[in-house]
Amino acid sequence: MRKVIVTEFMTLDGVIHAPHEWSFGFWSDGIGAYKAEEVFASGSLLLGRVTYEGFAEAWPDRQDEAGFADKLNGMEKLLASTTMKPGEPTWNNTTLLQGDVAAQIREHKERDGGDILINGSADLIQRLAPHGVIDEYRMLVYPIVLGKGRKLFPEGFETTGLRLAETKTFDKGVVALHYEVTGEGIPESPYPG
């Protein structure tokens, strides 16, 4: 079965909004290789409308020697949008998902192909997480505190148990944390009181 993997750039205080404004100064060859490996191992992108529109504007005309742009452009794109209409998405290999998106994602997980990556798309992640379709969170945590900005998990979000599966460190203090969703709640404290 394919996994749905959330992959995000995040500040130490949990902000994921507008990473182009704060992450580029920390970029390294190691992060580039990590992101390339992630994309090349995947079969589909699952995106909300805002992230989709940004990607669809940025990637179709790009080329690189490593083939990253070709892979991204050739991948299946699953677009979850309540506002776009059939025929509006123009980036090649795009399927518009409307209605019960969680049920449609479950169907896609049963199909052959690599894992399904969700980049950005905080609203979509917040809608899907309670339905149990997200299998893993991969957070690239940057050593910066912004003090404001949109967070992946807003206050009041449903408790979700996670298990640390892998860590990687990169130059300039960036750390990749891979968490698998366990569905368990908060562990009981071994301390009285």
Cα–Cα nearest to 2, from 91, 105, 86, 114: 114
Would you state the pLDDT for residue 7? 97
Query: Tens digit of pLDDT for each residue in 69-110?
Result: 999 999 999 999 999 998 899 999 999 999 999 999 999 999
Q: Is 145 within 8 Å of 12 (Cβ atoms)?
A: yes
Number of Cβ atoms within 10 Å of the Cβ of 138:
19
Predicted local distance difference test score (pLDDT) of residue 40: 95
164 pairs with which residues across the strands?
179
Positions of the chain with pLDDT under 50: none
pLDDT the model gives residue 191: 77
Distance CA 91, CA 38 (A): 21
Distances (CA, A) of 61 to 47, 67, 79, 100, 156: 19, 13, 20, 32, 40
How many Å apart are CA 54 and CA 59, to the nearest integer?
Answer: 9
What pTM was computed for the model? 0.92
Strand order through the sheet with 162-169: 94-97, 76-80, 42-48, 115-119, 4-11, 136-142, 175-181, 162-169
Model pLDDT, residue 64: 87
**Residue 135 near residue 5, CB atoms below 8 Å:** yes
Q: Can you give the pLDDT at residue 66?
A: 86
Q: Does domain 29-160 have CATH number 3.40.430.10?
A: yes
pLDDT of residue 193: 64
CA nearest neighbour of 19 among 28, 29, 27, 9: 9
CA 44, distance to chain mean position in Å, is 11
User: In the chain, where are the structural domains located?
Assistant: 29-160
